[in-house]
Chain A
């Protein structure tokens, strides 16, 4: 019973982190970020990679989940004609354009929905484990 609760909790934590990344993507729909060279680049959407958590493995092979890493997408930015913008591109074929993030809002909302439903499903599984534990107390009367 107790390992089942631990495994479900790891799933709750993982789905929470996934929802955090979706919130971050939705909050930064039109923002810039500083990359490692110090230039201002358009925000790239983040996404999480889940992986089985071997630290939570039971003897029969049931494993928990953990967030392996938070990856950044690499997509082409959207360009808008704003020659007076401080971050407008100075030269080249895209002179006068400003690069904006290309975050697919629909995909992010669906991701958020999936994360919420997965959260609820794991809470349901925890409920079942809890019921099982309480029922097994009836053995002792």
Chain B
């Protein structure tokens, strides 16, 4: 009978976003870039969905299933971004309410 060996449990690896505060004054520069990138991605998905709907409505050679999927993806990503924005605003307001 082989003895039961404990499995080496690897801790869940958090996706490294590369957030490193660069000094006290500019402690937010990379995060701003990440936010802007995410906003651009969401924007591009929205414009893709727009184009696809336009092509479908004017009788172009586009599959309706693909158009609806593009719409759905744009919707999901927009909702996620909205929730993240809400969280950020709530955190900012909490920081504002710290009484000195």
Contacts and interface: CB of A to CB of B under 8 A. Distances in A.
Interface of A: 1-2, 5-6, 8-9, 12-13, 16, 126, 130, 133-134, 137, 140-141
A126 B72 CA distance: 10
B54 interface: no
A16 B84 CA distance: 37
A2 B65 contact: no
Closest 6 CB pairs of A and B: A12-B65, A9-B69, A140-B83, A133-B76, A13-B63, A137-B83
Nearest to B66: A9
Contacts of A134: 76, 79
Contacts of A12: 63, 65-66, 69
A140 B86 contact: yes
Contacts of B77: 2
Interface in B58-100: 63, 65-66, 69, 72-73, 76-77, 79-80, 83-84, 86-87
Contacts of A133: 76, 80
B69 A6 contact: yes
A5 B45 CA distance: 14
B65 to A, nearest CB: 4
B87 A140 contact: yes
30 contacts: A1-B76, A2-B76, A2-B77, A5-B69, A5-B72, A5-B73, A8-B69, A9-B65, A9-B66, A9-B69, A12-B63, A12-B65, A12-B69, A13-B63, A13-B65, A16-B63, A16-B65, A126-B69, A130-B72, A130-B76, A133-B80, A134-B76, A134-B79, A137-B80, A137-B83, A140-B83, A140-B84, A140-B86, A140-B87, A141-B87
Interface residues of B, number: 14
A2 B80 CA distance: 12
Nearest to A138: B83
A140 B80 CA distance: 9
A141 B66 CA distance: 31
Given A12-B65, A13-B63, A13-B65, A2 B73 contact: yes
Contacts of A126: 69, 72
A134 B78 CA distance: 11
